[in-house]
């Protein structure tokens, strides 16, 4: 999703305090939003909107800090300043999964689009069309709408991610069986209402599924309820887990649903969830108040165990 080509990254461009909270590729254009609400295009996405090869954008960003600047970079930086924006950096570099990724912010994207649309020797109809669309809709609003971001807070992103997962999986479980993801939807909703940032790095159904599978095997529940089977479960395209789609988790016979719900209530929520959420707090993936709110909603007696 996010551009991984080697670019010249100055220390001031590398931001260790920011992360990509949501990203998506729409019609071949990679885009997303950072934790501070900054919308961006990646290098290839910007190149596609400009109608040029991505190496042209890499060349511009690599030459950005040269002294003296090339006439092209000088003009683009002038267009950035004309928007009242900072022209000192061409992109924001971030570390994700051990790799440097490059997010091009709004003012730079608009300046480069304007350059290729109206200033370059060979004007680009693609760039002109893209520039007009973004100018009319507003860069921020356009990206937010495309990736499902709610600028009022990260909760909007989390709700969208949950919704996207539901839309991809609700119809794939065979008749006569239930899925872990669908059956613990109330846990997801309670956490989301409490402010949890559920997403690619915080997927409670994996924890529940692993623990329940162990219980299923240890108690030989297949003998009682019948065999479990695998079904197709896909993650949204902007989740890292989507690289291995389709997933093949187990679904379980409907006859075992009562046993599962009892196990979730008496075993998982009461004994396992406090430890699970405690680890997520330490990892910075859920705020402590949200974790406490979730536990209080399900089993108040377990609240104090988390902190």
- Mean pLDDT (the chain, rounded): 82
Q: pLDDT tens-digit profile of 209-247? A: 999 999 999 999 999 999 999 999 988 877 778 888 899
Q: How high is the pLDDT of residue 176?
A: 94
Burial class (CB in 10 A: 0-12, 13-18, 19+), 276: middle
Q: Kindly state the percentage of the chain with pLDDT values over 70.
A: 79
Hunting for tokens 């002294």 — which residue is that? 67
Q: How far apart are CA 285 and CA 197, in angstroms?
A: 7
Is the pLDDT confidence value at 94 over 70?
A: yes
Q: How high is the pLDDT of residue 224?
A: 95
**pLDDT-derived band of residue 161, with 50, 70 and 90 as boundaries?**
confident
Q: How high is the pLDDT of residue 195?
A: 61
Q: pLDDT tens-digit profile of 16-46? A: 667 787 788 888 899 988 877 889 999 999 9
Three-class DSSP labels, 29-51: EEEEEECCCCEEECHHHHHHHHC
Buried b (16+ CB within 10 A) or exposed e, 228-238: beebebbbbeb
Q: How high is the pLDDT of residue 304?
A: 40
Question: Which DSSP string corresponds to 146-214?
Answer: HHT--TT-HHHHHHHHHHHHHHHHTT-SPTTEEEHHHHTHHHHHHHHHTT---BTTB-HHHHHHHHHHH
Is the pLDDT confidence value at 72 over 70?
A: yes
Q: How high is the pLDDT of residue 306?
A: 39
Q: How high is the pLDDT of residue 271?
A: 85
Q: Is the peptide bond before 191 cis (omega within 30 degrees of 0)?
A: no
**pLDDT-derived band of residue 123, with 50, 70 and 90 as boundaries?**
confident
Among the ranges given (63-77, 91-105, 123-137, 185-199), the one the predictor scored with the smallest mean pLDDT: 185-199
Contacts of 20 (CB under 8 A, 6+ apart): 2, 32, 33, 34, 35, 94, 96, 101, 103
Closest C-alpha to 104, from 54, 154, 68? 54
The SS3 call for residue 239 is coil
Give CA torsion, residues 199, 21, 160, 130, to 10 deg. -150
Is the pLDDT confidence value at 115 over 80?
A: yes
Is the pLDDT confidence value at 53 over 50?
A: yes
Instruction: Determine the average pLDDT of the residues in 254-280.
Output: 87
pTM of the model: 0.52
């Amino acid at each position: 999703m996010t551009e991984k080509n080697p670019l010249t990254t100055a220390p001031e461009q590398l931001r260790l305090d920011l992360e990509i909270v949501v990203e998506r590729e729409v019609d071949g254009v990679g885009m997303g939003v950072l934790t501070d609400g900054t919308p961006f295009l990646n290098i290839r996405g910007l190149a596609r909107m400009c109608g040029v090869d991505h190496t042209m954008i890499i060349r511009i960003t690599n030459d950005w800090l040269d002294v003296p600047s090339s006439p092209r970079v000088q003009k683009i930086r002038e267009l950035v300043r004309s928007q009242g924006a900072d022209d000192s950096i061409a992109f924001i570099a971030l570390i994700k999964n051990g790799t440097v990724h490059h997010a091009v912010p709004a003012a730079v994207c608009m300046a480069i689009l304007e350059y290729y649309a109206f200033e370059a020797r060979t004007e680009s109809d693609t760039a002109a069309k893209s520039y007009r669309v973004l100018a009319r809709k507003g860069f921020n609003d356009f990206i937010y709408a495309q990736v499902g971001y709610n600028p009022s807070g990260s909760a909007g992103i989390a709700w969208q991610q949950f919704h996207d997962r539901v839309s991809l999986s609700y119809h794939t479980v065979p008749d006569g069986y239930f899925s872990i993801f669908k059956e613990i939807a109330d846990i997801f909703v309670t956490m989301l209402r409490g402010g949890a940032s559920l997403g690619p790095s915080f997927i409670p159904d994996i924890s529940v599924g692993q623990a329940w599978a162990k219980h299923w095997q240890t108690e030989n529940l297949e003998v009682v309820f019948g065999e479990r089977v695998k079904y197709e479960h896909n993650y949204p395209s902007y989740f890292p887990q989507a690289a291995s789609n389709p997933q093949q988790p187990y679904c379980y016979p409907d006859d075992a649903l009562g046993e599962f719900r009892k196990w979730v209530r008496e075993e998982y929520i009461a004994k396992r969830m406090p430890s699970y959420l405690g680890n997520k707090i330490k990892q910075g993936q859920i705020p402590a108040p949200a974790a406490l709110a979730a536990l209080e909603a399900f089993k108040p007696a377990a609240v104090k165990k988390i902190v």
